[in-house]
């Protein structure tokens, strides 16, 4: 199966290791094992495959994040990246029509394209605060569409679809018999209102929610994600899953369950980091008028428009060369003229200061 290059991953692999400061990150200060509650018994656990589809303890902890799901509606995967891929492999066939809301994670359109699907990109617009225009979306989704992909809260823009909007999107999808894959890896990180938006799996019988330990729970190194959806779909996904997962590591399963059972302390710590990051960013934007952005309502990234007549790829290369700070070009997310900045990054303040200094030579 031929597939397009994954542009953000290629960029990050190439530029981040050489950066003095890395602002491409989407994570919030990953936790160590020592910061998680665990019992010493874990050191005696035999490192077999463990529970193939995820332990009951882990699935029960995942279930608690949703309003009306059962453990049978959940399967555990290798991160959200494994979850998204399994959904596409299970649901799609050559010729199917897929609508993907972008900018978003490239998996959402490049995997369907590689499977021979007809993919339509629906671009969010800054003038709409990076939220979909429902009338437009209703026109883009047709009775031929099989799957709508969205990412809420959104990476890179930090926009959060309000619950009423999700309900309206469900109505559109229901009318046309369309599945919705909602990549919810940043769910639980809303900066305004309740931290958790509604989950698509709780709103819609054809809603498929993907979550993971990587962002909201600061444990990307565990490589644990999950899919929540209708039981018959989860069965279908598990059938595919046997070919590429077997199980997640028994250690990852254990620590993921422990973290979710104690998620309040992770959440408190992460909100402090997020608010601090947003305040630093707001202050910096006031003093650096070459940049502007819609202040994120959630998630961990902001999408900054820059006022220089240069492509985002060239701009990021220049910034990194002159300041040592790695940023992600919007072009890698199909939106040139912008850069993505992880506002929860370590050393955000000194990194932004370095960017300000180097702007003098770009002006």
Ligand X SMILES: Cc1ncc(COP(=O)(O)O)c(C=O)c1O
Comparison of 155 and 258: residue with beta carbon closer to ligand X: 155
Structure tokens at 180: 């919705």
Minimum distance, C-beta of residue 179 to ligand X, in the bound complex (Å): 17
Q: Is 220 in the site for ligand X (CB under 6 A)?
A: yes
Going by C-alpha positions, the residue among 185, 326, 188 that lies closest to residue 268 is: 188
Going by C-alpha positions, the residue among 294, 327, 29 that lies closest to residue 154 is: 294
Minimum distance, C-beta of residue 87 to ligand X, in the bound complex (Å): 12
Footprint of ligand X on residues 12-71 (CB under 6 A)?
A: 26
CB 81 within 8 A of CB 225: yes
Comparison of 19 and 362: residue with beta carbon closer to ligand X: 19
Q: Is 332 in the site for ligand X (CB under 6 A)?
A: no
CB 253 within 8 A of CB 51: yes
Q: Which of 15, 66, 88, 105 binds ligand X (CB under 6 A)?
A: 105
Q: Is 80 in the site for ligand X (CB under 6 A)?
A: yes
Q: Which of 81, 293, 304, 328 binds ligand X (CB under 6 A)?
A: 81
CB-based burial of residue 272 (10 Å sphere; 0-12 exposed, 13-18 middle, 19+ buried)?
A: exposed
**Count of positions on this chain that bind ligand X (CB under 6 A):** 13
Footprint of ligand X on residues 121-180 (CB under 6 A)?
A: 151, 155
Minimum distance, C-beta of residue 210 to ligand X, in the bound complex (Å): 7
Per DSSP, the residues of 141-206 read: S-TTEEEEEEESSPTTT-----HHHHHHHHHHHHHTT-EEEEE-TTTT-BSSS-SSPPPHHHH-TT
Q: Which of 110, 212, 245, 247 binds ligand X (CB under 6 A)?
A: 212
- Residue ranges in contact with ligand X by CB under 6 A: 26, 79-81, 105, 151, 155, 183, 185, 212, 214, 220, 225
């Amino acid at each position: 199966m031929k597939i397009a290059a994954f542009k953000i991953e290629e960029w990050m692999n190439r530029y981040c290791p050489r950066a003095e400061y890395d602002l491409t990150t989407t994570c919030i200060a990953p936790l160590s094992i020592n910061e998680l509650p665990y019992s010493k018994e874990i050191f005696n656990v035999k490192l077999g495959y463990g529970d193939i589809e995820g332990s009951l303890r882990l699935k029960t902890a995942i279930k608690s994040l949703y309003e009306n799901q059962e453990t049978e509606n959940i399967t555990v995967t290798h991160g959200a990246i494994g979850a998204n891929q399994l959904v596409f492999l299970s649901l799609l066939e050559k010729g199917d029509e897929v609508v993907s809301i972008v900018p978003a994670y490239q998996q959402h359109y490049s995997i369907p394209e590689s499977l021979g699907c007809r993919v339509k990109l629906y671009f969010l617009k800054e003038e709409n605060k990076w939220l979909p225009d429902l009338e437009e979306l209703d026109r883009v989704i047709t009775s031929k569409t099989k799957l709508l992909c969205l990412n809420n809260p959104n990476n890179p823009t930090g926009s959060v679809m309000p619950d009423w909007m999700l309900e309206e999107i469900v109505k559109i999808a229901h009318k046309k018999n369309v599945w919705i894959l909602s990549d919810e890896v940043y769910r639980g990180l809303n900066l305004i209102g309740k931290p958790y938006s509604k989950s698509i799996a709780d709103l819609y019988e054809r809603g498929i929610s993907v979550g993971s330990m990587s962002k909201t729970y600061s444990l990307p190194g565990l490589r644990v994600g999950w899919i929540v959806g209708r039981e018959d779909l989860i069965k279908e996904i598990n059938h595919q899953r046997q070919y590429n997962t077997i199980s997640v590591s028994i250690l990852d399963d254990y620590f993921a369950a422990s973290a979710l059972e104690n998620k309040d302390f992770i959440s408190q710590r992460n909100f402090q980091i997020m608010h601090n990051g947003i305040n630093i960013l707001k202050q910096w934007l006031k003093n650096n008028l070459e940049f502007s952005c819609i202040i994120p309502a959630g998630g961990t990234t902001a999408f900054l428009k820059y006022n220089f007549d240069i492509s985002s790829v060239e701009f990021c290369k220049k910034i990194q060369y002159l300041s040592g700070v790695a940023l992600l070009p919007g072009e890698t997310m199909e939106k040139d003229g912008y850069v993505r900045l992880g506002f929860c990054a370590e050393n955000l303040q000194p990194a932004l200061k370095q960017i300000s200094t180097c702007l003098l030579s770009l002006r």
